[in-house]
Amino acid sequence: MNRLLFILLILIILAGCFNKSETVSDGITIFTEEENIKENFIAEEKTFIKDLYEDYSSAALISKTGEVSIVKDKFYIEGKTVYVKGKSYKDIVGIYLTENYHSITDAYQHMKEYLENDEKVMTVLLDGFSYNQFKLAQEKDYIPFLSKYFKHAALSVYTPVTNAGFAAIITGQTPSVNGVHDRSVRDMKVKSIFEYTLEKDKEAVLLEGDIKILSTEIEPLLHIDLNGDGGTDDELYESALKALEGNYDLIFIHFHGIDDRGHTFGPYHRETMEYIKLIDQYIQELSLNWDGAIILVPDHGMHETSEGGSHGICTQSDMVVPYFIKDE
């Protein structure tokens, strides 16, 4: 009997540990552009979305495999399955309620359209920049450039980590199609925008930090933290200024510093917000030396934790990011 009690005690302790771990999320998170409506939701009985959120008109259903399905009809949830007009969507992890659906995967199509029209395009990947951070920075008047060219909120992909977000941006596909679900995957199952530039004899450059993230069709130009300030964005910025003088049709830049500070200090910390201000100045300066289009797109967002910040779960702050285009 004592042994049974002991095992029970161990189980309770273990359960406690798992509860504390924020990455364990079993149910569905229902969210809008602005906030989570319900977290970790598992419908014990048939639950109509209208009963949870009246304003609903269309939704993006996000599955465990990273697939996104847009539904416009009334639907209900049972367990973790969503039923729409007799069709079922299993293993749903997130439901994004929006009347204005956009995705970070749109960036691929936008880049392709510019290149097809023989226009130049510069794309800046703002690692770990959430829609909530954007709104806060805008309120503080920190980001005149970003504020001017903001288009709309966009959905990241599941799981919201760099490999998956980056792959989604350059392939235009969700993880269920391009195969890049998480940090462990570097190979894409479909062609990226860089393959497109090679096929069309266009010049492209990928300016990356100190680590190669994906096996892209063109080799990234890596940067070392030469001045030892703890990041490569400043070196990358200098390198980008030089690239602008070249003859590139596509310049792809990956700034990491917002994500780094978000992890260390938290997404809304002064250090992080000040850095977002600096990134705005970098991009403003780059734009003055570039006469092509500019797309600014984060790979994923960031949520607050007791240690700072993190991302990788299906929650509004990780999944909703701002999207920007400058094309005049």
Quick one: 33 or 259, whose CB is closer to Zn ion? 259
Min dist CB 101 to Zn ion, Å, is: 25
User: Which range touches Zn ion (CB under 5 A), out of 94-102, 247-255, 256-264, 275-283?
Assistant: 256-264
Query: 172 or 298, CB closer to Zn ion?
Result: 298
Is residue 285 within a helix (H) or strand (E), and if so which, with residue range?
helix 270-288
Judged by CB under 5 A, which stretch of 2-10, 186-194, 254-262, 314-322 contacts Zn ion?
Answer: 254-262
Cβ–Cβ < 8 Å for 95, 80: no
Least Å distance between CB 137 and Zn ion?
18
Q: Which residue is nearest to Zn ion (CB)?
A: 259
Please identify, among the stretches 102-110, 228-236, 257-265, 312-320, the one whose residues bind Zn ion according to the rule CB under 5 A. Answer: 257-265
Residue 228 zone, left/alpha/beta (φ > 0; ψ -120 to 50; rest):
left
- Tell me the sheet residues that pair with 63: 92
Amino acid at 283: I
With respect to Zn ion, which residue has the nearer C-beta, 97 or 320?
Answer: 320
Residue 164 or 251: the one with the smaller Cβ distance to Zn ion is: 164
Q: Choose between 128 and 220: whose C-beta lies nearer to Zn ion.
A: 128
Q: Which is nearer to Zn ion, 244 or 320 (CB)?
A: 320
28-31 and 36-41: which strand pairing? antiparallel
**Smallest distance, Å, CB 161 to Zn ion?**
7
Beta strands in 149-232 (DSSP E): 150-155, 204-207
Nearest distance, CB of residue 164 and Zn ion, angstroms: 12
| CB of residue 306 to Zn ion, shortest distance in Å | 17
Tell me the closest approach of the beta carbon of residue 158 to Zn ion, in angstroms. Answer: 15
**Nearest distance in Å: CB 141, Zn ion:** 26
Contact criterion met (CB below 8 Å) for 150 and 322: yes
- Which residue of 106, 259, 280, 299 would you call a contact of Zn ion, by CB under 5 A? 259
Length of the chain: 328
Closest distance of CB 180 from Zn ion, Å? 15
Choice between 172 and 309, CB closer to Zn ion: 309
Instruction: Give the up-direction half-sphere exposure of residue 108: CA atoms within 13 A in the CB hemisphere.
Output: 22
C-beta closer to Zn ion: residue 59 or 314: 314
Q: What angle is formed at CA 291 by the lines to CA 217 and CA 212, rounded to 5 degrees?
A: 25
Interaction residues for Zn ion, span 103-132 (CB under 5 A): 128
Under 8 Å between Cβ of 188 and 167: yes
Least separation, in Å, of the C-beta of 157 and Zn ion? 14
208 in contact with Zn ion (CB under 5 A): no
Give whichever of 94 and 128 is closer to Zn ion, judged by the CB atom. 128
Size of the site for Zn ion (CB under 5 A): 2
Spatial distance between the Cα atoms of 315 and 319, rounded to a whole number of angstroms: 6
Q: Smallest Cα–Cα separation from 192: which of 216, 225, 224?
A: 216
Say if strands 293-297 and 121-126 run parallel, antiparallel, or are unpaired.
Answer: parallel
Could you count the other beta carbons within 10 Å of the beta carbon of residue 210? 13
93, 28 Cβ separation under 8 angstroms: yes
H/E stretch holding 303 reads strand 303-304
Of 211-219, 223-231, 258-266, 269-277, which part binds Zn ion (CB under 5 A)? 258-266
CA angle 249, 254, 259 (to 5 degrees): 160
Residues of this chain that bind Zn ion (CB under 5 A):
128, 259
